[in-house]
Structure 1
Amino acid sequence: MKLLLIEDNKELADSVKKGLEEYGYQVDIAYDGNDGEEKAFVNLYDCILLDLNLPGKDGLDVLHFLRNNGIETPVLIISARDHVEEKVKGLNLGADDYLVKPFHLNELHARIQTLIRRFHGRSQPVIQIDDLMIDPMNRTATINGKMVKLSVKEFDILEYIAQKHPRTVSAEEIAEHIYDELDPQSSVLRVHMIKLRKKLREVTDRDILMTRRGIGYYIACKENE
């Protein structure tokens, strides 16, 4: 999952980025409102974490601009402003949630996961596609109850494709969301896909991760086999 953190406190931003990366997120940082607005407008993110007290352009102005220009990405406001009026203003402008500083990283992670689930129309924290179950919070994948032992990047790839199910996901989209500045034609992605397919096949009698040549990757359902 790819996040944008718009936060002017560099020490805090770098600390949050490091912590979220340990959960498997890819995190871009913008240290002022103008840069954050530009990044959010031109790039595709799964969630935007937005501070309000920003240099250049206030966080609420950034939020107003994004929503007025059709950016529907979930926005989680993270701010020291804890007055009810500020929360109401942010939510009315289109924010999806509001978290007051200081906060615990595990709560931030849980809030992000909730917003991403809601955005993709899922009410449950676990993604289930036939006998494949993916738990983003605990970063586990099972097939018929059998654990699939995956590396960090392998899990990230599988989770992302599952989030987009039943859509076919291009190599370019995977590279953008899972890696930091990786060429989608790089052998790194191909190697990860080969290993991921092999590990999935080892615990089941069917191919789960499939390719549409020239288009991308998708998770096959039993009914479509």
Structure 2
Amino acid sequence: MLFRTILNFRIKGSVLMKILIVEDEKDLAKIIKKRLERENFTAEIVHDGEAAVDKTIINEYDLIILDIMIPKKDGLEVLSELREWKDKTPVLILTARDSLEDKVQGLNMGADDYLTKPFAFEELIARIKTIFRRGVKEHSNTLKNGDLLINTVDYTVKRGEKIIELTSKEYALLEYLMRNRGNVLSRSQIEEHVWGYMSGNNTNIVDVYIRFIRKKIDEGHENKFLETVRGRGYKMKVFKDE
């Protein structure tokens, strides 16, 4: 996922920058979401640490706004798990804990910025844009799921140490599945995204290409990434990064 500094950092390609808000104060979370959307970001909300971890496993975000004092798992536990998994998604801690020790701890654990409550929304937006402006992170041009790695800059694919050769359409299909891992994609969704049209189920082109990439990435491996969901479409299973 490549951060682009165009249109005030609001759009990457044709996709809005996606932010996860982890905040147990529901009214505040809604206000933050509304303000972000006013800036043409797209945002999702969760209210506890376990839900935050679950979201980051199956979805990809450009930024996480993370409160510390949240139920089930506190924000620092969430941050620690992300960094243990080598997930380098930028994290902006937004919390009422304003001591120097708290700030140092959060930054040392891998947060990219630390903002204390109460705060001005103008400052929050400015800090978000600053994080994006810092440039491409190591993870920004890679997609990782278990031992499967896609480099979205040079379009290379590896499973473990093996480089997998794909055609342009196979690559486009695999990247689309990877970006939506954990979610079922219908054949019409895949057709529209990869081929730019919907055939109305008059062809089996999606099934053919799924078979091609399944043979290349799954054959000979115990963990199978591609799952057929009967009557609905296809899904890429989620595996913990190795």
TM-score bracket for this pair, using the shorter chain length: 0.5 to 0.7
Aligned to 1:65: 81
Q: How far did residue 107 of structure 1 move? A: 1.3
Q: How far did residue 41 of structure 1 move? A: 2.6
Q: Distance in 2 between matches of 1:57 and 1:118?
A: 29
Q: Distance in 1 between matches of 2:108 and 2:116?
A: 17
Code of the aligned partner of 1:117: R
Aligned length: 144
Aligned to 2:237: none
Code of the aligned partner of 1:39: K
Q: Distance in 2 between matches of 1:184 and 1:108?
A: 36
**Equivalent of 1:86 in 90, 97, 102:** 102
Q: Distance in 1 between matches of 2:30 and 2:44?
A: 10
1:137-178 CA-to-partner distances (Å, cap 9, x unmatched) read: xxxxxxxxxxxxxxxxxxxxxxxxxxxx966896949x97xx
Distance change (3 Å), C-alpha of 1:30 and 1:86: same
Code of the aligned partner of 1:38: D
Q: Distance in 2 between matches of 1:185 and 1:20?
A: 31
Q: How far did residue 105 of structure 1 move? A: 1.6
Within the alignment, does 1:26 sit opposite 2:42 as a pair? yes
Code of the aligned partner of 1:54: I
Q: How does 1:1-225 map to 2 (within 5 A)?
A: 1-120=17-136, 172=176, 183=189, 185-186=191-192
Distance change (3 Å), C-alpha of 1:119 and 1:67: farther
Q: How far did residue 108 of structure 1 move? A: 1.1
Unmatched tracts of structure 1, length 5 or more: 122-164, 192-213, 215-225
1:52-82 CA-to-partner distances (Å, cap 9, x unmatched) read: 0001101001000100011000000000100
Query: Could you tell me whether the CA contact under 8 Å between 1:51 and 1:79 is conserved in 2?
Result: yes
Aligned to 2:223: none
1:17-72 CA-to-partner distances (Å, cap 9, x unmatched) read: 01100111110111101001111232111111000000110100100010001100
TM-score, normalised relative to structure 1: 0.56
Distance change (3 Å), C-alpha of 1:59 and 1:47: same
Q: Distance in 1 between matches of 2:81 and 2:58?
A: 13
Code of the aligned partner of 1:14: K
TM-score, normalised relative to structure 2: 0.52
Q: Distance in 2 between matches of 1:68 and 1:119?
A: 22
Code of the aligned partner of 1:16: I
Q: How far did residue 184 of structure 1 move? A: 6.1
Distance change (3 Å), C-alpha of 1:71 and 1:86: same
RMSD: 3.0
Q: Distance in 1 between matches of 2:190 and 2:127?
A: 30
Q: Distance in 1 between matches of 2:191 and 2:125?
A: 31
Code of the aligned partner of 1:92: N
SS at 1:5's partner residue?
A: strand
Code of the aligned partner of 2:105: K
Query: Could you tell me whether the CA contact under 8 Å between 1:41 and 1:66 is conserved in 2?
Result: no
Q: Distance in 2 between matches of 1:67 and 1:111?
A: 21
Q: How far did residue 117 of structure 1 move? A: 2.1
Q: Distance in 1 between matches of 2:176 and 2:54?
A: 21
Question: Aligned residues: percent identity?
Answer: 44
